Amino acid sequence: MAMSFAALAGFVVGALAVLFYRNQIEAPSRTAANDGVETGTALPQGVASVLAVLPSSAVVLDAHDRVLRASSAARAFGLVKGERLMAAELLALARQVRRDGEIRESEIDVAGHKFGQETTSFAVRVAPLGSHGQVLVLAEDQTERRRVEAVRRDFVANVSHELKTPVGALSLLAETIQDAADDPEAVTRFAGRMQLETARLNYLVQDLITLSRIQGAEPIPTPGQVSIDEAVNDAVDHCNTRAAARDIALVTGGTSGLRIWGDDELLVTALRNLIDNAVAYSPEHTRVVVSVRPAGDSVEISVSDQGIGIPEEALERIFERFFRVDAARSRATGGTGLGLAIVKHVAAAHAGEVSVWSKEGSGSTFTLRLPAFGGTAVAVPPSIPLEAAK
């Protein structure tokens, strides 16, 4: 991205320099007395046209730091107000370029004026324009690129950490078993621990594969009719063993016979993660309720628990990869920290959304809202096969 901006900026500077040269050769020499225009306050022919088609923010300053031309992007980002360049760093660069004629590049952060951003990061290139003290400033918004890079770095760091824990434990347990080869009881105990760590590693790898497959929010390649009843039953069956071990009842209810257009495997994965999460954060002898209801052109699937709830300050982050409200409890239950991120991306892949209501000490309710098959949420009798329900 940075290299492409530098190449574009170089091309633009070169093109404008050619326009300046042609203008000086072809136009007769004129003095301020003859044309009534102060030297260096007007743009040569063609320069405004070049600046108008640039995707980046572009500003031309005269010899007195007044703005001769500014693109709409430059004004939208707050770089220019009236005839003034508002970014002090850019103004300082422009003055340096005007003094020595050297092209300069830099990166700056500007207080956000667009789309509610707190700050906007720019890659900038400043170059002299002609021989009358005019300066060209090009600024490319790098905020999204920086954010993506930060997310990538965090993801790599988190994956490395999460993988090291079970791999390190397996290595240590293997050495311990080897040393305790003459103690059958110890071997049995440590082998059980190895099975738990292996299962945890397997869940993490599977979740990473699932997340990498769907995180681009791309449309599902081969969508079809999906029975909500079947998806809910499959997800509940998958989670029954873990719930039963803690005497947590899994209850289903609501409207039956509803369908969506999507991918049944992805829907089951999302529901499984929501139910597993509810079980993991619920006290023993409680219940988790999965309910389904029509909502106009959508189908809503809610998973409610009587668990510990989520602090208000954590609600905005719970769908981030590897974010855990209670890290110690999550690791103790074998959680990977990817479940809710997967749910969010599954909802996006279905052109739907996921929301959460929670109160500390009272439990949480996660709701998947997905477009209904046929555009309207209508219950279909179970005797009618999917292919015929059109």
Structure confidence by residue, pLDDT tens digits, 194-225: 887 887 787 777 777 777 777 665 667 778 89
Contacts of residue 39, Cβ cutoff 8 Å, sequence gap at least 6: 32, 132
The per-residue pLDDT for 213 is 72
**48 near 31, Cβ under 8 Å?**
no
The per-residue pLDDT for 234 is 94
The per-residue pLDDT for 129 is 82
How far apart CA 390 and CA 373 sit, in angstroms, is: 9
Residues of the chain scoring pLDDT < 70: 1-53, 55, 112-118, 151, 154-155, 157-158, 161-162, 215-219, 324-336, 381-390
The pTM of the full predicted model, rounded to 2 decimals, is: 0.56
**281 near 324, Cβ under 8 Å?**
no
219-377 homologous superfamily = Histidine kinase-like ATPase, C-terminal domain (3.30.565.10)
**Residue 289: which region, alpha, beta or left (left: phi > 0; alpha: psi -120 to 50)?**
beta
